[in-house]
Amino acid sequence: MFYPIIGAHHFLFSPLPWFLQTTAIVFSVAMLVPVWGGSANFLLTMHGRMHGMAQSVPLMFIFVGVIGYLVGSTQGTFEAFRSLQQVWHFTNFTVGHSHLTMYGFVTFAIWGGVYALLPLATGKQPNSLGLTLHFWMALVGSFIYVISLSVGGTIQGLDWIHGVPFIQSVADMQSYWIWRGVGGSMKGNSAIGPSSTMCRTASIAWRKPPK
């Protein structure tokens, strides 16, 4: 019930009616209840079974997806406060936040589901080394990407607030954009191997259907 209105928190300090902006902030805070409750449900289900992730790459993907959902959604609640929006609005911080939620949560969860269902659909196990490389390259790449833009975006926003020349804020972001490129390249390249692995697995299963 909280989701439909919270999108308005992306339009703080806009022509949107002030009461609607305030309502969006309140609903954003209320979103902590389902976010923390849903995340706790998964994490408590995993309590005492964390060792199982060492033998299951799909579970590792889903676990990171849940953490991404928890951290990204909580971060979104804090971003909804006007005092923080003054710093982060229109900066690269919001780009990092978007990738934390859409890649750190959605993409990791999808890959986990795909890798869990692939053996059931084809009767074949995908290459474990390829899956492991995919996981760690995507995880490390995402971490570098999000952290670099979060730190750089905060500096960028503070530059604007302090009224420094715009070109100075661009110069201050230079090193963080380089790290963004490093992290983004790792994320992008991480999916190349697994994609070919899935195609080969499906192709083998198609030629030799499971008995």
pLDDT digits (tens, 9 = 90+) for 24-78: 999 999 999 999 999 999 999 988 888 878 889 999 999 999 999 999 999 999 9
Res. 125 pLDDT band, cuts 50 70 90: confident
Phi and psi, residue 93, nearest 5°:
-60, -40
Instruction: Work out the pLDDT band at 123, boundaries 50, 70, 90.
Output: confident
pLDDT at 107: 94
pLDDT at 204 over 70: no
pLDDT band at 187 (very low <50, low <70, confident <90, very high): very high
pLDDT tops 90 at residue 102: yes
185 Cβ contact partners less than 8 Å away, ≥ 6 residues apart: 141
Average pLDDT, the chain: 89
Q: Confidence band (pLDDT; 50, 70, 90) for 207?
A: low
Tokens matching residue 96: 């990092």
Q: How far apart are CA 184 and CA 172, in angstroms?
A: 20
Name the pLDDT band for 194 (thresholds 50, 70, 90).
confident
Alpha-carbon distances, residue 73 vs 68, 109, 119, 141, 146 (angstroms): 8, 15, 32, 20, 14
pTM of the model: 0.88
180 pLDDT tier (thresholds 50, 70, 90): very high
pLDDT band at 129 (very low <50, low <70, confident <90, very high): confident
Mean pLDDT of 70-99: 93
